[in-house]
């Protein structure tokens, strides 16, 4: 019997991350898996109290029922969009998959690599925002960093050029 798989998907609730999530659901996730969404918020996006406790380790793993609760998400200052929630709820209904969300604060490149090791993830799917060459040179590509530094298999789902 195979150990439980933890499939990670990096999400920022953009069109690109929804495409990566949909690809993961269609091609990777199977019955018995844990689908763990990883989202990274800018540092300092939390107040005193609970969130400060999680600044270093990230939030606890948040079950789908709480991800769908606007009051719970407001506490974390995360706003999942309706389309992402629909993809997740449909998946949870159709397959025997445990859906969880983990929130980190800080640099997305570092925190996603950290999540791979700490959770630990069996594999990670991440979208490629398709920054132009110049922007990518200045900002650095999160997906590129994770591919080169992540300790598990990483799949980058590219968004097609708008003109193609």
What is the enclosing helix (H) or strand (E) of 28? none
pLDDT at position 1? 44
Task: For residues 98 and 59, give the distance between their C-alpha atoms in angstroms, rounded to a whole number.
Answer: 17
Task: For residues 157 and 102, give the distance between their C-alpha atoms in angstroms, rounded to a whole number.
Answer: 20
Q: What's the pTM value of the predicted model, to 2 decimals?
A: 0.87
pLDDT at position 102? 97
In the chain the domains, ranked by start, together with CATH numbers, are 6-158 (3.40.50.620)
Q: Residue 37 pairs with which residues in a beta bridge? A: 9, 101
pLDDT at position 37? 97
Write down the residue that tokens 């999530």 correspond to: 21
Residues contacting residue 47 through CB under 8 Å, at least 6 positions apart: none
Task: For residues 85 and 90, give the distance between their C-alpha atoms in angstroms, rounded to a whole number.
Answer: 8
Q: Which residues of the chain have pLDDT under 50?
A: 1, 163-164
Local structure of residue 127 (DSSP, 8 states): E
Q: How far is CA 17 from CA 11, 42, 50, 71, 103, in A?
A: 5, 17, 27, 23, 15
Residues contacting residue 114 through CB under 8 Å, at least 6 positions apart: 58, 104
pLDDT at position 161? 57
């Amino acid at each position: 019997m195979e150990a439980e798989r933890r499939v990670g998907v990096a999400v920022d609730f953009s069109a690109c991350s929804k495409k990566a999530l949909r690809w993961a659901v269609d091609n990777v996730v199977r019955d018995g898996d844990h689908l763990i969404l990883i989202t990274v918020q800018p540092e300092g996006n939390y107040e005193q109290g609970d969130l400060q406790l999680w600044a270093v380790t990230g939030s606890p793993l948040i079950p789908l029922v709480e991800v769908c609760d606007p009051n719970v998400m407001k506490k974390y200052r995360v706003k999942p969009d309706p389309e992402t929630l629909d993809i997740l709820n449909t998946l949870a209904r159709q397959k025997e998959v445990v859906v969880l969300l983990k929130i980190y604060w800080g640099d997305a490149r570092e925190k996603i690599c950290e999540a791979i090791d700490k959770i630990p993830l069996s594999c990670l799917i991440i979208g490629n925002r398709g920054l132009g060459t110049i922007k990518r040179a200045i900002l650095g590509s999160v997906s590129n960093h994770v591919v080169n530094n992540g300790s598990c298999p990483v799949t980058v789902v590219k968004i097609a050029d708008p003109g193609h």
